[in-house]
């Protein structure tokens, strides 16, 4: 089963995997559309992706986290398309025997997804035209 998914609709609330009875902890993380970025008021945003490479890179990140933090299971879903303020853009789940590994694994996954997976955000602002985030200042 795919553990990294790109979805055009609302993300599932429950983890897309069965939680093993060996898991004493499940940590989840929601990344939401914020109303401001770098001092500007954000009206909404749109995500696009390079799907083939985003899926393979996302799967690799999940596999790394499972190995590194001894997770029993982990998954991540990321939205594509137009999102409004407050919408959940990305959701991560990490299950482990103990909470330390579950928190660390969840943190690793979201950090790596933001740094490595080819997904791009175009923000629309209250006071001007939309812009690709990070594409011009990294």
Partner 1 sequence: MMRIQIQYFAVLAERRGLTEEWLTVETHDLGALYNTLAMQHGFPLPHTSIRPAVNDAFRAWDYPLQEGDRVVFVPPVSGG
Query: Contact residues for partner 1 (CB under 8 A)?
Result: 31, 47-50, 52-54, 56-57, 78, 89-90, 110, 113-122, 132-136, 138
Query: What is the distance between the alpha carbons of residues 111 and 90, in angstroms, rounded to a whole number?
Result: 12
Of the candidates 20, 46, 43, 27, the one whose C-alpha atom is nearest the C-alpha of residue 103 is: 27
Q: Which is nearer to partner 1, 72 or 108 (CB)?
A: 108
Query: What is the distance between the alpha carbons of residues 135 and 138, in angstroms, rounded to a whole number?
Result: 7
Backbone angles phi, psi at 38, to 5 degrees: 50, 45
CB of 24 to partner 1, least distance (A): 27
Q: 21's torsion region: left (phi>0), alpha (psi -120 to 50) or beta?
A: alpha
CB of 31 to partner 1, least distance (A): 5
The residues near 40 (Cβ < 8 Å, ≥ 6 apart) are: 123, 125, 126, 127, 128
CB of 127 to partner 1, least distance (A): 20
CB of 29 to partner 1, least distance (A): 10
């Amino acid at each position: 089963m795919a553990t990294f998914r790109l979805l055009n609709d609302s993300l599932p609330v429950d983890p897309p995997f069965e939680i093993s009875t060996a898991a004493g902890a499940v940590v989840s993380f929601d990344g939401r559309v914020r109303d401001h970025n770098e001092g500007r008021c954000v009206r909404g945003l749109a995500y696009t992706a390079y799907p083939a490479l985003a899926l393979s890179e996302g799967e690799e990140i999940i596999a790394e986290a499972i190995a590194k933090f001894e997770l029993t299971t982990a998954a991540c879903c990321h939205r594509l398309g137009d999102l409004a303020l407050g919408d959940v853009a990305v959701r991560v789940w990490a299950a482990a025997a103990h909470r330390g590994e579950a928190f660390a694994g969840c943190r690793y996954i979201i950090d790596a997804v933001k740094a490595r997976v080819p997904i791009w955000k175009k923000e629309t602002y209250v006071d001007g035209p939309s812009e690709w985030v990070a594409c011009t200042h990294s």
